[in-house]
């Protein structure tokens, strides 16, 4: 190869590297950040932010476990994160590049430690519960003033669901959420990995399957807000977003969120850097930006989810920090449960069961 050609190749490589170093790719849940923060990050760092979204852990996990996701920051939930760490999908965080790490909340880090030992690979972005979103007026009209709006009876009792079908019911398309909730309803361990125990969920879910309008993990937000459905089994912040959208639209739709009285799943969404991230340095800058107290507060104030950043709490609006549906009281916290990843063989059982339930056959 000639000296001139070598020089040309070197310049081209340097140019490509320079351009690439100014880009960070983030893969997050849909409807899950104040987009003004994305612009602020670009303005403060000069790094181009490419931001894509997904609406299920299963979609993200497929990308992570097949390798070469192409992303620098991704946001799996705790149980999925744990399994992906075991598979070598994430790199340890470089704490020297995270000057805002002191803002994080030790109470939440103590809980996320079970998924990521020492919180070595991730930071908490948001946390919350999974529960019941209801159109108060429609559900009261159909089931009466004593409708069990705060109980799993609302969605797992076929007699209730048959009536609610006329106004529409959405379930999360998330077996790792719905099957544990069903087991909790049955009085079983929601974190059971015993296939025989998990199988008990089938009868309950198939019993209400004819009355479920749709399985989806994001469409229920607008569907609830617009009055297109009357019940959603979904994530706390999503349902509260629906509540606020309905209030802003002044469309007469009153939405309420309840963590089930039988117990609700407490989940954690963690930001992590893939092992093969194209630009890990920029990824750390993004994480550090998110860990800034005011930036994290801006995110929570927009999406109405609790976050794992203690320092952010002084900047949260009262509608967020003062709402026990977002930051639960001690009694509710004590009634929350967490789950751990299914082993591979059990995961196959769960996947087959969920496919059967969704198809209704």
Decide if 272 contacts 121 (C-beta within 8 A).
yes
Given this model, what pLDDT does residue 220 score? 97
Given this model, what pLDDT does residue 331 score? 84
pTM (2 d.p.): 0.85
Separation of alpha carbons 20 and 99, rounded Å: 24
The closest of 223, 219, 233 to 153, measured between CA atoms, is 233
DSSP state of 126: E
pLDDT average per 10 residues of sequence, the chain (361 residues): 36 40 91 96 97 94 89 97 95 98 96 96 97 98 98 98 98 97 98 98 98 96 98 95 95 96 96 97 98 98 96 97 91 89 95 97 87
Given this model, what pLDDT does residue 7 score? 37
Q: What is the pLDDT of residues 119-136, one digit of tens each?
A: 999 999 999 999 999 999
Given this model, what pLDDT does residue 330 score? 83
Given this model, what pLDDT does residue 219 score? 96
Task: Give backbone dihedrals phi and psi of 76, rounded to 5 degrees, phi first.
Answer: -80, 155
For every residue of 165-181, DSSP letters joined together read TTT-EEE-S-HHHHHHH
Q: What is the pLDDT of residues 267-302, one digit of tens each?
A: 999 999 999 999 999 999 999 999 999 999 999 999
Separation of alpha carbons 285 and 299, rounded Å: 17
* Residue/partner pairs of 246-250 with CB below 8 Å, 24 or more apart: 249/225
Decide if 179 contacts 134 (C-beta within 8 A).
no
Separation of alpha carbons 238 and 221, rounded Å: 6
């Amino acid at each position: 190869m000639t000296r001139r050609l070598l020089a040309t190749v070197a310049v081209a490589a340097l140019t490509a590297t320079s351009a690439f170093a100014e880009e960070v790719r983030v893969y997050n849940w849909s409807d899950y950040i104040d987009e003004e923060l994305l612009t602020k990050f670009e303005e403060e760092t000069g790094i181009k932010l490419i931001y894509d979204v997904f609406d299920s852990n299963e979609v993200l996990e497929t990308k992570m476990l097949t390798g070469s996701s192409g992303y620098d920051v991704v946001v799996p939930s705790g149980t999925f994160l744990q399994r992906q760490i075991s598979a070598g999908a994430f790199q340890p965080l470089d704490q020297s590049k995270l000057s805002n790490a002191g803002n994080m909340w030790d109470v939440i880090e103590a809980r996320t430690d079970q998924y990521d030992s020492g919180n070595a690979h991730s930071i908490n972005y948001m946390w919350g519960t999974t529960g019941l979103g209801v159109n108060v007026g429609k559900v009261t009209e159909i089931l009466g003033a004593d409708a069990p709006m705060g109980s799993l009876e609302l969605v797992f009792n076929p007699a209730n669901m048959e009536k609610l079908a006329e106004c529409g019911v959405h379930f999360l398309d998330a077996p790792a959420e719905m099957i544990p909730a069903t087991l909790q309803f049955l009085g079983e361990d929601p974190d059971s990995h015993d296939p025989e125990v998990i199988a008990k969920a089938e009868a309950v879910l198939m019993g209400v399957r004819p009355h479920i309008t749709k399985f989806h993990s994001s469409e229920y937000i607008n569907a609830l807000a617009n009055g297109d459905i009357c019940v959603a089994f979904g994530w706390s912040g999503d349902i509260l977003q629906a509540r606020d959208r309905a209030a802003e639209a002044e469309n007469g739709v009153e939405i309420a969120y309840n963590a089930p009285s039988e117990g609700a799943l407490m989940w954690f969404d963690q930001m992590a850097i893939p092992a093969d991230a194209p630009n890990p340095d920029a990824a750390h800058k993004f994480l550090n930006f998110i860990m800034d107290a005011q930036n994290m507060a801006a995110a929570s104030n927009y999406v109405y989810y609790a976050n794992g950043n203690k320092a952010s709490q002084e900047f949260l609006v009262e509608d967020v920090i003062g709402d026990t549906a977002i930051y639960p009281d001690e009694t509710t916290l004590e009634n929350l449960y967490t789950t751990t990843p299914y082993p591979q063989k059990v995961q196959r059982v769960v996947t087959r069961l969920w496919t059967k339930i969704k198809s209704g056959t």
